[in-house]
Structure 1
């Protein structure tokens, strides 16, 4: 037995090493990015001036209203996801789904990208549903957001084209660097080479562990999307999508009126300026960081800089004060909702075990023949 254990030891070391490295990349990189961006964010900033702006100029009533709107966006997201889960035969109380959404954002503050896996596991465990089925619906939920952000980005480029062109003309170095990256042959050669390599590995090693896991993931994603096409309540699903993103946009719009100069930006340039900042802040959430802290403020600062020439006094300190206030209050709300969520989940586990209609009705063997 000793010989057998010793012979297996070398094969275990690479696997353990790979696990350690994957965990370091998953949980170590986001905090490094967050800290690094925050360090650059505050470098050269007059902290006393920023504190003065927040203390004397911020109208926190608008911030409070924006936070209420953000809670509604979470509720609408839960209502949208419930339609997908019901179509898959996973009958889940709306309150439980709302808690899973609150918990997702709270977990992402600590461990980015783990929140989605947590809510998948929570719903699958509570409703005794197949993890892959719930995961597919969650992937669909997130990819629908990606498509929405893409469409909003195109809209922002169309409606804000004059401001974007004006900003690039005022900052020729930025325009030159941007065009150099886009026109770089090395960029397109690298993208093409990576795509061809992925295709070659996919065909050469169809039964490898990575390819098999990827096939399973794509199958779950497809199942999640397929159910949207055949489920009842498609119109309501689209309505909830519009309400979710309408809440997000309205939330930021309201925040603009919390500070006099950002209110001037909204008043002079209209919803277009808010849309530009909104799209940039939405894109910043793709950066792996703790709850978007760091990238979000950078995005708002960059968006406001496009309109700074038309609003005297809109300095970097002022834009940073705005960004930090919005992000700070939103983060505080997510922490409070997270605490409430995990307290209620603990109570639910003790007193409300899944029975009857709250349990999943998906067949144990397969989810391919789920009826509408």
Structure 2
């Protein structure tokens, strides 16, 4: 998949936005003290945290394999796992690019049509969005007093102040632009519909129907809960990496998980900047200073990026050296 100049500029802008948020998050902080905390972090708990994330990746691969089997593709577990990890590696370079890359990996290793794979990917992402919504709802219900203060003073008031000073002429112009863009898109699609697009639609529909055709839905849902549970345990174990967060309990890890989930949904490579700021803000709710929150966020984010780099490079090597299924059959 070649990148044109326009797409490359878009991704570069996203990266610069992430770096900008990162610099704003660390602005005014004592970087020397933050670096000292990171250097003296307890590696044992960082490794345990990373292992929990690895288990979540394995469960994610198992869950994706279930979707394939429901639409009659008997794919190997390790090929699915390599696709998941290589997809995460691609997301570090280009946001959301990993979803396409892992479908390409499955096409190479298992000859699954890319658009059928893409339908299953979108299906499992919908369940992740549902889990993020449910965990966010649980956070609001069980920690309402704590979270409400943050949402009101740091989010609602800032947005309100922004709209008060907003030039509504620009807002109206933006609305007209979006309506015009949607109209042009509908016109273009109606003019360009062909048998090729029909085949793409059929393949996507096959992937979308993967969950409804699944016989053992309970196992799929159990894997989904397991993925998020291990992410939660990962956040919790990393608290013990530095003294300033070692006293925090699972409720703080739960809040940090929800905040990090929304951060990773941002279209920025690897959630850089947004992840650090959101996780640090979540820990402020538990009387952790911004400096210590940023140190914690940097440790857990860096450990996960390093894990993806190591596993991703290994998966790429194993995938590239694997014989093509067409060559084996011939």
2:298 corresponds to: 324
- The Cα of 1:112 is off from its aligned counterpart by 2.1
1:94 corresponds to: 77
1:258 to 241, 261, 269: 241
Cα 1:215–1:59 change in 2 (3 A) is farther
RMSD: 3.4
C-alpha distance in structure 2 between counterparts of 1:179 and 1:294, whole Å = 24
1:278 corresponds to: 257
Cα 1:258–1:117 change in 2 (3 A) is same
2:273 corresponds to: 294
Does 2:98 match 1:115?
yes
Structure number with bigger Rg = 1
1:43 corresponds to: 27
C-alpha distance in structure 2 between counterparts of 1:28 and 1:216, whole Å = 33
- The secondary structure found in structure 1 opposite 2:266 is coil
1:227 to 199, 206, 210: 210
- The Cα of 1:218 is off from its aligned counterpart by 6.8
C-alpha distance in structure 2 between counterparts of 1:157 and 1:288, whole Å = 25
2:51 corresponds to: 68
- The Cα of 1:21 is off from its aligned counterpart by 1.5
- The Cα of 1:224 is off from its aligned counterpart by 2.4
Kindly report which structure 2 residues correspond to 1:97-176, keeping only aligned pairs within 5 A, or say none. Answer: 97-167=80-150, 171=153, 175-176=156-157
Cα 1:161–1:134 change in 2 (3 A) is same
- The secondary structure found in structure 2 opposite 1:228 is coil
Unaligned regions of 5+ residues in structure 2, if any?
none
C-alpha distance in structure 2 between counterparts of 1:77 and 1:29, whole Å = 30
C-alpha distance in structure 1 between counterparts of 2:174 and 2:209, whole Å = 29
Q: Could you state the TM-score of these two structures normalised by the residue count of structure 1?
A: 0.77
- The Cα of 1:154 is off from its aligned counterpart by 1.5
Does 2:329 match 1:348?
no
- The secondary structure found in structure 2 opposite 1:67 is helix
1:24 corresponds to: 9
Unaligned regions of 5+ residues in structure 1, if any?
1-17, 309-313, 357-372
Cα 1:327–1:148 change in 2 (3 A) is same
Cα 1:144–1:194 change in 2 (3 A) is farther
Does 2:310 match 1:336?
yes
Q: How many residues align?
A: 327
Q: Could you state the TM-score of these two structures normalised by the residue count of structure 2?
A: 0.86
Kindly report which structure 2 residues correspond to 1:209-220, keeping only aligned pairs within 5 A, or say none. Answer: 209=192
- The Cα of 1:335 is off from its aligned counterpart by 0.7
